[in-house]
Structure 1
């Protein structure tokens, strides 16, 4: 919205969540992200099981990625971050077991259509329903934080979870402020 690229700060959870909610207002786009982000991440972990990188045991590329995500999520919120970390480690273990069962010859046949379908819907959701998406400079933040923000939104809607009291009110204020700034910016461009 009105935020400058990377001005939110990866660890600024209020600003990240406000940006996330502003980018996923349409129910179809929001549903596509909720339903497809998990399979996209899981199939990335699955294909990474076959990537031969020289990492010290017991690390493999999928575990390294899972631990990086887990560490980032624990840094922004201990309770929801711990749940997200457990989910990532469970996904890593499941992807490892599935990779051993399928082998590369079958695994890529699961990964490719899942990735194509999932990313097509992610892009279409933003283009058709939101009429905007994150800028290219924001993609690293989006790739890192979006899975956690989806989990946070689910926890908030189902259990009224907040990382701390007043979190949701602060996020709503940030969204309103960004919307006002965006409207002013657009009006100044028209005049």
Structure 2
């Protein structure tokens, strides 16, 4: 199932939506950090798509556009974890791919690269500051592949939940809250054991 070791001994599958959402929410508890991620993850992804239009990668001839390959991979992953929200997120990814392609053709490589560099530096700086200054922690290196794949969808899911009360299935948010509480309890117990 592609599980990785969680920081506190639990295993979290890449497509285990409850565990991924609980981990995401536990890493983004401070409002400033949560807002930074909600606002800046989209521009990071969009500029990733933008620069991929200029990179020649060895892909099958049917899929010779690396940006389209990335958009389709994200869309497929999101459909796998939740059909309704995943379908909407997949459509947004394909719209971003089309917009990035049009922008790449309009700007050309040099201006696109400058835009990508400035956007990535700004957005990543604020993401790291959000974790360092406000959360005092961030994902570990072993969490990064899952974070890169799942975080955009988890942000989207959180927005759908806050604005429309959307849940992938009844009881999803309660299950996530229980997982977060269990994780916080485990952290407190570990800290108490270290202190004694």
- Shorter-chain TM-score above 0.5: yes
In the alignment, does 2:35 pair up with 1:34? no
Contact 1:2 1:178 in 2 (8 A): no
Which residue is equivalent to 1:94?
A: 99
TM-score (norm 1): 0.97
Cα shift at 1:111: 0.3
> Does 2:55 align with 1:75?
no
Structural mapping, 1:31-180, within 5 Å: 31-55=35-59, 56-180=61-185
Moved segments of 4+, more than 2 Å = 1-5
> Does residue 24 of structure 2 align to residue 24 of structure 1?
no
Contact 2:33-2:130 at 8 Å conserved across structures: yes
Q: Work out whether 1:184 is the aligned partner of 2:194.
A: no
- The answer on whether the counterparts of 1:2 and 1:182 sit within 8 Å (CA) in structure 2 is no
Q: How many residues align?
A: 190
Greater RCO between the two (CA within 8 Å, min separation 6)? 1
Give the Cα separation in 2 of the matches to 1:57 and 1:18. Answer: 38
Aligned partner of residue 151 in structure 1, secondary structure: helix
Structure 1 residue ranges without an equivalent (≥5): none
Structure 2, unaligned stretches of length 5 or more? 1-5
What RMSD in Å do the two structures reach over aligned CA positions?
1.2
**TM-score normalised to structure 2 length:** 0.94
Asked if 1 retains the 8 angstrom alpha-carbon contact of 2:63 and 2:69, the reply is no
